Amino acid sequence: MARIHEKPANSACAAAHSPALELHELHKGFDSAEGRVEVLRGVSLSLPRGTSMALTGESGSGKSTLLHIAAGLEQADGGRISLAGQDMTRASDAAQAQMRRGQVGLIFQQFNLIPSLTVGANLAFQARLAGCHDAGFTERLAARLGLDGLARRYPEQLSGGQQQRVAIGRCLAARPALVLADEPTGNLDEATGDAVLSLMLALTAEAGAALLLVTHSPRLAARCDGRLHLRKGRIEASP
């Protein structure tokens, strides 16, 4: 099947040899009725470009919290986050927002498509926001994702697997250097989930993007290049 990338993924501005994502001694706690709960107690990890890393851990261990902090959706209490070599903790809010718009793609368990937009408009949405929409590229990506002929439908007219493939396409159309995916196949049956993960792994590898995949499934985790386990607020390497 034809490759979709005629030029290397994203950002000329990114430092070419820096890891896509580095977390250094991240701390995060939440106040609850029972007092403060320290969820992340010094989490460090480094995710090289072009590699896939699975992140597992019990429910409530802080996987989504870690992803949200990496994506800038939540603030850490302490620690350092670098995207493509750029220290987010030192950057201005505007610089952080610009970096994240251009460099980071998010995929969630609930596909989070925009219901009032067609598949075609959903696919282009993120790339338009990032100012790098390329109609030809998005069309080739849609074809690779098996979405040909669906561009004029609305999300509610698609199956779950099709919706998640649109969400993956929307993310990759903006050519992010880092894809953060939180249980992206959690709402899909096993066969559909396997197929969706295969596409995600192939397309992010082709794009030279790094993938951090939160999953409960050891079987899916085994398909990534590396595996990390979150336990008691810290990262353990897992086999």
- The residue ranges that bind ligand ATP (CB under 6 A) are 30, 32, 37, 39, 57, 59-65
- Of the pair 65, 126, the CB lying nearest ligand ATP is at 65
Amino acid at 6: E
Return the residues of window 45-74 that contact Mg ion according to CB under 5 A: 64
- Rounded to an integer, what distance in angstroms lies between the CA atom of residue 183 and that of residue 16? 29
- Least spacing, CB of residue 58 vs Mg ion, in Å: 10
Binder of residue 30, out of ligand ATP, Mg ion, none (CB less than 5 to 8 A by kind): ligand ATP
Is 185 an interacting residue with respect to Mg ion (CB under 5 A)? no
- Of the pair 42, 50, the CB lying nearest ligand ATP is at 42
- Residue 36, beta-bridge partner list: 31
- Least spacing, CB of residue 202 vs Mg ion, in Å: 25
Pairing of strands 226-231, 52-56: parallel
**Phi, psi (rounded to 5 degrees) for 18:** -75, 150
Binder of residue 44, out of ligand ATP, Mg ion, none (CB less than 5 to 8 A by kind): none
Tokens 């603030």, residue?
75
**Phi, psi (rounded to 5 degrees) for 55:** -120, 115
Binder of residue 92, out of Mg ion, ligand ATP, none (CB less than 5 to 8 A by kind): none
Considering only CA atoms, which of 150, 131, 136, 141 is closest in space to residue 200? Answer: 141
- Least spacing, CB of residue 156 vs Mg ion, in Å: 25
- Least spacing, CB of residue 35 vs ligand ATP, in Å: 12
- Rounded to an integer, what distance in angstroms lies between the CA atom of residue 142 and that of residue 121? 12
- Rounded to an integer, what distance in angstroms lies between the CA atom of residue 209 and that of residue 163? 22
- Rounded to an integer, what distance in angstroms lies between the CA atom of residue 196 and that of residue 167? 11
Is 217 an interacting residue with respect to Mg ion (CB under 5 A)? no
Provide the greatest CA pair distance for the chain: 55
- Least spacing, CB of residue 55 vs Mg ion, in Å: 10
Binder of residue 65, out of ligand ATP, Mg ion, none (CB less than 5 to 8 A by kind): ligand ATP
**Phi, psi (rounded to 5 degrees) for 198:** -60, -45
- Least spacing, CB of residue 149 vs ligand ATP, in Å: 34
- Of the pair 68, 175, the CB lying nearest ligand ATP is at 68
Residues in touch with Mg ion (CB under 5 A): 64
